[in-house]
Amino acid sequence: MSSIFEKFWVAAQHMVDAFIARLPALIVGIVVFLLFYILSAVVGRFIVNTTRKRRPNVGVVLARLIGAVTLLIGFLVAFSIVAPSFQAADLIKILGIGGVAIGFAFQNILQNFLAGLLLLWSEPFRVGDEIKLDAFEGEVEEIQTRATIVKTYDARRVVIPNADLFTHSVIVNTALESRRWEYDLTLKSGKPLTELKSLVLSAVNRVPGVLSQPSPEILVMDLGDTDSNTVKVRVLWWTKAARQHEMLKSYDSVLSSIREGLRSGSEKETRINRIA
């Protein structure tokens, strides 16, 4: 029994002696890793501050990626100091083989991640823009590395994979300062067509927010039935506001003005006929 205890005690002493012998290297390794950690934080903060005004989302992603790479390098260097027999090249080979396996296993996730990086770099749209993809339309709340968060006009949140945004056609409603609106209108009256178009055009020009340049237009789309004196026209006008809510307000104001203008014109014609 005493011999077993002696062997255990000798082994424990060897372990303690080995730990004490490696303690300076362990301390140096920890210090080196902490230095790399501080370096990653400083570099990340510098990238975020540099890109805050122009491309804040890209800055955050780059800061995270560079910080992760810096920490990985720091870990390899620190581990090499603690264990001199360790070869960083061997770990890199293992990571390479593991990376290929992970790539096949998480192909869709990596595809969305790379698409997110390209979207953040090229910036076809930004946070706050209103976009439309297939049946989804709303305001961009957040652009993540895997998906983009869109808030629809009826206050629902849609998570769209970045691969879909990168490979499909996306309509950016707020990409430009001004936007053109249109509405098809059927006119019925005994007045000449030029007079009807003039009434509608005057009504549109009276609406606040409608731009004078480019000027509103009234285009004939269909002559309709000549016996019933109907004609189908398309009303085109431009506004500075390009968002959905402003669009609805512009439609309301323009169509209300057209209705009042045509009604006033009809009442005036009726009064003239009565006087005659």
Q: What digits encode the pLDDT tens for the residues 213-240?
A: 888 888 888 876 666 677 888 899 888 8
Lowest mean pLDDT among 100-104, 253-257, 267-271: 267-271
Judge whether residue 276 has pLDDT over 50: no
Judge whether residue 144 has pLDDT over 60: yes
Axis crossing angle, helix 56-82 with helix 88-105, rounded to the nearest 10: 140
Domains detected in the chain = 2-105 (1.10.287), 124-172 (2.30.30.60), 179-275 (3.30.70.100)
Res. 255 pLDDT band, cuts 50 70 90: confident
Which of 64-73, 101-110, 126-135 has the highest mean predicted lDDT (pLDDT)? 126-135
Res. 91 pLDDT band, cuts 50 70 90: low
Q: Give the model's pLDDT for residue 150.
A: 92
| Amino acid letter, residue 53 | K
| 147-152 vs 136-143, strand pairing mode | antiparallel
- What is the H or E stretch that residue 186 is in? strand 179-188
Buried b or exposed e, range 15-37, using 16+ CB within 10 angstroms: eeeeeeeeeeeeeebeebbeebe
The closest alpha carbon to 197, from 250, 234, 252, 222, belongs to 234
The answer to pTM > 0.75 is no
Judge whether residue 157 has pLDDT over 80: yes
Res. 273 pLDDT band, cuts 50 70 90: very low
| Better-scored residue on pLDDT, 29 or 99 | 29
Lowest mean pLDDT among 74-83, 89-98, 180-189, 207-216: 89-98
Lowest mean pLDDT among 2-11, 79-88, 160-169, 180-189: 2-11
Average pLDDT, the chain: 76
Res. 96 pLDDT band, cuts 50 70 90: low
| 230-239 vs 179-188, strand pairing mode | antiparallel
Q: Give the model's pLDDT for residue 154.
A: 85
DSSP 241-270: --SHHHHHHHHHHHHHHHHHHHHHHHHHHH
Q: At 116, is the secondary structure helix, strand, or coil?
A: helix
Query: N- to C-terminal Cα distance for the chain?
Result: 133
Interacting residues of 215 by C-beta distance below 8 A, sequence separation 6+: none
Q: In angstroms, rounded to a whole number, what is the distance separating the alpha carbons of residues 100 and 104?
A: 6
Please list the alpha-helical segments (H only) found in 51-150.
56-82, 88-105, 107-122
Torsion angles phi and psi, residue 150, rounded to 5? -120, 130
Q: Give the model's pLDDT for residue 87.
A: 60
Residue position matching structure tokens 């512009």: 250
Q: What is the average per-residue pLDDT within 240-252?
A: 81
Judge whether residue 198 has pLDDT over 70: yes
Q: What percent of the chain has pLDDT over 70?
A: 73
